[in-house]
């Protein structure tokens, strides 16, 4: 679990602000769901045989003996929330959320045990148009963040539960015949979750998979039509994608469309956003059948991509230095006055003792362009010395004239 230092946190906030503006411009509304849910919710909705449920959840018994889990992802909680609050039946909804998720994975660059996601979940829309809208929205976010050149879209269709079952048995037959070539993990998955073998990074297994039957050949007519229509919508909007039949996602709830946005610039953990359709999920929490589709993006990974491009806006604009007790008290009052009267601008007061020279060093380090200096002489004359830290020019101004002068300097 990583600590977020000031610059990192600023980047996270910047990304979240960009995402918020884009999502709201598509009519998405923000919701909040708890960090803790009943363990059963995740094991049922995410799937007993997934890596997440099998070995990555932070699960504990609370004081009542109830088994709780720190959310490893957002979709299950959003579906529960929507169902419990009557927000789904016969309604069309577009939600978004942001917050920390928890998975006990092996940590490495871009993979943490606490990580931040921003997600979008839509309900009540069965057609491919909403799938396309979600992808356009992602593309707009990458463009606004200035990283669209480094991210591409991988797309697949997982069909219906029935078509997947037919494919699953063909795949198992094929892999059983080539059992000797499988790695240990894939061998285990052959019993529990064979589709996940498609995701294997082991070269020998990948070789075997190259001649395995593909899910695409088993798609039912409706899924095929949905996928073709989606592709047409993406083509019309010139959103480029790569069809990748091995995108099966690590969660069990998907059907039809699945996708991942991937970058080559982060090494092994290159998936910055993943999602897809989950039409059967609302029924699983006791609701009426209700189509759903969504995605979640990993803020930690996006922040890493922005790190060398991001320009901090955390710098101060005005730094107030003071010498002597009366001047220190006045500095605080003046700062309040400035904040109350200027439309924008960051004002930092030197709240400590210190020689003028060391205070001016702090002023430089704060990034401020303007320093205000108040000493005993200034106090007695009711004046403030205003120093332009870029040019070094300084002048003494009457206390009443300072705010007007500052607002002009900040506008320049
Ligand atoms: P996911 O693919 O498990 O999907 O996670 C989505 C994104 O979260 C990943 O693409 C990645 O950027 C980020 N992420 C996942 N695990 C970690 C980690 N350990 N460290 C850092 N970042 C990570 C879901 O969670 C689904 N709920 C997405 C969804 C929403 N599908 C439909 N609606």
Tell whether the model's pLDDT for residue 412 goes beyond 80.
no
Q: Is 272 in the pocket of ligand 1 (CB under 6 A)?
A: yes
Is residue 407 in some structural domain? yes
- Final residue of a structural domain among 306, 338, 372: 306
pLDDT at 66 (0 to 100):
97
Is residue 204 in some structural domain? no
Helix axes 184-192, 161-177, angle to 10 degrees: 140
Q: Which of 19, 105, 296, 303 to mutate to test the pocket of ligand 1 (most atoms within 8 A of CB)?
A: 296
Is residue 70 in some structural domain? yes
Q: List strands edge to edge, sheet with 36-38.
A: 36-38, 67-70, 58-61
Burial of 62 (0-12, 13-18, 19+ CB in 10 A): exposed
Q: Is 281 in the pocket of ligand 1 (CB under 6 A)?
A: no
Give tens-digit pLDDT for 13-32: 999 999 999 999 999 999 99
- State whether 125 and 266 are in the same domain: yes
Mean pLDDT in residue range 402-411: 88
Cα dihedral 86, 87, 91, 94 in deg (nearest 10): -170
Q: Is 115 in the pocket of ligand 1 (CB under 6 A)?
A: yes
- State whether 300 and 356 are in the same domain: no
Report the CATH number at residue 71. 3.30.930.10
- State whether 26 and 85 are in the same domain: yes
pTM summary value: 0.91
The alpha carbon of 155 and the centre of ligand 1 are apart by a number of angstroms equal to 16
For the chain, the domain total comes to 2
Mean pLDDT in residue range 42-61: 95
- State whether 228 and 256 are in the same domain: yes
Name, of 70-79, 169-178, 244-253, the range with top average pLDDT: 70-79
Structure tokens, 4: 């977020």
Is residue 79 in some structural domain? yes
Query: Which residue's CA is minimally distant from atom 11 of ligand 1?
Result: 298
pLDDT band at 70 (very low <50, low <70, confident <90, very high): very high
- State whether 228 and 362 are in the same domain: no
d(CA 304, CA 233): 31
pLDDT band at 246 (very low <50, low <70, confident <90, very high): confident
Query: Which residue's CA is minimally distant from atom 1 of ligand 1?
Result: 274
Tell whether the model's pLDDT for residue 55 goes beyond 90.
yes
Q: Check if the beta carbon of residue 301 is closer than 8 Å to that of residue 273.
A: no
- Final residue of a structural domain among 273, 306, 339: 306
Please name which of 32, 114, 138, 19 lies closest in space to residue 77, comparing C-alpha atoms: 32
Looking at the chain, the whole-number percentage of residues with pLDDT higher than 90 is 80
- State whether 126 and 266 are in the same domain: yes
Query: Which residue's CA is minimally distant from atom 14 of ligand 1?
Result: 298
- Final residue of a structural domain among 284, 306, 328: 306
Q: Which domain holds residue 371?
A: 318-411
- State whether 102 and 232 are in the same domain: yes
């Amino acid at each position: 679990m990583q600590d977020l230092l000031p610059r990192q946190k600023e980047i996270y906030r910047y990304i979240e602000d960009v995402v918020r503006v884009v999502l709201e411009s598509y009519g998405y509304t923000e919701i909040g769901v708890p960090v803790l849910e009943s363990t059963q919710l995740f094991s049922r909705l995410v799937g007993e045989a997934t890596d997440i449920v099998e070995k990555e959840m932070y699960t504990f018994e609370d004081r009542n003996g109830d088994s709780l889990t720190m959310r490893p992802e957002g979709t299950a909680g959003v579906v529960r929330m929507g169902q419990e609050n009557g927000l789904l039946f016969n309604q069309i909804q577009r939600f978004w959320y942001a917050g920390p998720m928890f998975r006990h994975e092996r940590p490495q660059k871009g993979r943490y045990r606490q990580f931040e996601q921003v997600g979008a979940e839509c309900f009540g829309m069965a057609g491919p148009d909403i799938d396309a809208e979600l992808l356009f929205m992602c593309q707009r976010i990458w463009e606004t963040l200035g990283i669209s050149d480094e991210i591409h879209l991988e797309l697949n269709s997982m069909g219906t539960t029935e078509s997947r079952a037919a494919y699953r048995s063909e795949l198992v037959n094929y892999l059983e015949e080539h059992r000797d070539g499988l790695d240990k993990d894939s061998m285990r998955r052959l019993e529990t979750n064979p589709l996940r073998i498609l995701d294997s990074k082991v070269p020998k297994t990948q070789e075997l998979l190259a001649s395995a039957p593909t899910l695409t050949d088993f798609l039912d007519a409706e899924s095929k039509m949905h996928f073709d229509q989606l592709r047409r919508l993406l083509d019309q909007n010139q959103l480029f994608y790569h069809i990748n039949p091995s995108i099966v996602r690590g969660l069990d709830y998907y059907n039809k469309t699945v996708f991942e946005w991937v970058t080559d610039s982060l090494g092994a953990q290159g998936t910055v956003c993943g999602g897809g359709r989950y039409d059967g999920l609302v029924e699983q929490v006791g609701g009426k059948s209700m189509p759903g589709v969504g995605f979640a993006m990993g803020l930690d990974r996006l922040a890493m991509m922005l790190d060398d491009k991001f320009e901090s806006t955390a710098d101060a604009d005005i730094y107030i230095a003071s010498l002597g007790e009366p001047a220190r008290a006045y500095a605080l009052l003046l700062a309040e006055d400035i904040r109350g009267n200027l439309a924008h601008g960051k004002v930092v007061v030197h709240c400590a003792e210190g020689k003028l020279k060391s205070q001016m060093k702090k002023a430089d380090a704060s990034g401020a362009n303007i320093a205000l200096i108040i000493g005993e002489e200034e106090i007695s004359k009711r004046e403030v010395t205003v120093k332009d830290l870029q040019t070094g020019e300084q002048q003494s101004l009457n206390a009443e004239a300072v705010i007007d002068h500052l607002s002009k300097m900040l506008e320049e």
